[in-house]
Amino acid sequence: MRIAITGLTGFLGYYVAKRLFERDVQIQAMIRNDSKTLHLSDYQKKITFVRGDLTDKETVGKFVQGADVVIHMAYERKGATFQEAANKDLKRFVEANLFGSIELLEASKQAHIRQFIFISSCAVYGHIFPHIKLDEFHPLIPDSNYGAYKASIEAFCHAYFTTKAFDTTIFRPVGIYGINPHLAHSAWYHIVKDIKHGCNIEVSGGGKIVCAENVAQAIDLAIDNKETSGKIYNLVDFYADNMSIARIAKELCASNSHISGTPKQPVNTIDNTQSRMLGVRYTGIEGLRRYIQELLRCM
């Protein structure tokens, strides 16, 4: 099987490459001219890199040629956060991400692929209706440009699916955590680092999280799986407040840090029943503890 993947050199891409390396697949990865690939060296014998971006129609066409499955994870943000990139230069954001994604969908149709997997985001929900279950059928009212972009591409995916161009599968992860190849970009890096060094810290906030390995697992389970055709899956494990993160780090490294702040509670709960039925086995609090332990070890 040949799989064409965008965003493979990114944080999530590393975990996807690691997961798919065990399968009988060949990977075509579209990467930008300035992308680094050293962190993928262990998996490189199964990867063919195609230099270019989604704004180049000719390159996109060549990229998907011969592919059975396309996995679209790429998001141009040039070092900014996901939300900042969507607000900084709106024209470039739309050209590179929205128009580029549509170009990829159309090229995939022309190449007669079997399946298109899109990594969306729970940011598509935006406004949450308190009396409506927050599952995959909750109305989408994005409250950010980023969420609006993801929701737009979801709509195009549905259109291509209903016209029988190819099967589509959509994943909506929440905040993804895991060891980043660029270590300092790992989730909660600065909190854990300060704890390890014995600093007194004040923490606040929190968010819904999912382990990168679980997202890669979900993608793996969906590949060439007819049961996922036309479906959407929330990918969420649980809510973690930053106070809990700091306390786990303090316990694991026996730090003398004093932690202050007020634990934050979630406002709503995102349903993950469909992803569990798919076969995703969330790592839970023990997975989070293992991650923090590994982060401490890597520092």
**Cα distance between residue 149 and residue 79, in whole Å:** 18
**Cα distance between residue 149 and residue 72, in whole Å:** 14
Q: Which residue has the higher pLDDT, 16 or 75?
A: 16
Could you tell me the fold of the domain covering 2-176+211-235?
A: Rossmann fold (3.40.50)
Instruction: Give the type of residue at 60.
Output: V
Long-range contacts, stretch 13-16, CB < 8 angstroms, 24+ apart: 13/40, 13/73, 14/39, 14/40, 14/181, 14/212, 15/178, 15/212, 15/213, 15/215, 15/216, 16/71, 16/73, 16/215, 16/216, 16/219
Model pLDDT for residues 218-248, shown as the tens digit of each residue: 999 999 999 999 999 999 999 999 999 999 9
On whether the CB atoms of residues 2 and 26 are closer than 8 A, the answer is yes
**Cα distance between residue 68 and residue 133, in whole Å:** 35
What mean pLDDT comes out for the span 264-275? 93
Residue 80 pLDDT: 55
- How many Cβ atoms from other residues are within 10 Å of residue 177's Cβ? 25
Model pLDDT for residues 48-84, shown as the tens digit of each residue: 999 998 989 999 999 999 999 999 999 876 655 656 6
Residue 82 pLDDT: 56
Question: What pTM did the predictor assign?
Answer: 0.94
- Mean pLDDT in the chain? 94
Asked if pLDDT for residue 104 goes beyond 90, the answer is: yes
Query: The tokens of 190 are what?
Result: 């600065």
Residue 264 pLDDT: 84
Residue 262 pLDDT: 87
Residue 71 pLDDT: 98
Asked if pLDDT for residue 253 goes beyond 80, the answer is: yes
Domain boundaries along the sequence of the chain: 2-176+211-235, 177-209+237-298
Long-range contacts, stretch 31-39, CB < 8 angstroms, 24+ apart: 32/76, 35/9, 36/9, 37/9, 39/9, 39/14, 39/181
Residue 34 pLDDT: 81
Asked if pLDDT for residue 213 goes beyond 90, the answer is: yes
Model pLDDT for residues 124-165, shown as the tens digit of each residue: 999 999 999 999 999 999 999 999 999 999 999 999 999 999
Residue 81 pLDDT: 61
The SS3 of residue 218 is: helix
Instruction: Identify the band that residue 184 occupies on the pLDDT scale cut at 50, 70 and 90.
Output: very high
Asked if pLDDT for residue 5 goes beyond 90, the answer is: yes
Residue 86 pLDDT: 60
Lowest mean pLDDT among 20-24, 29-33, 89-93: 89-93
Q: Which residue has the higher pLDDT, 253 or 94?
A: 253
Asked if pLDDT for residue 87 goes beyond 80, the answer is: no
Question: Considering the domain 177-209+237-298 in this protein, what is its CATH number?
Answer: 3.90.25
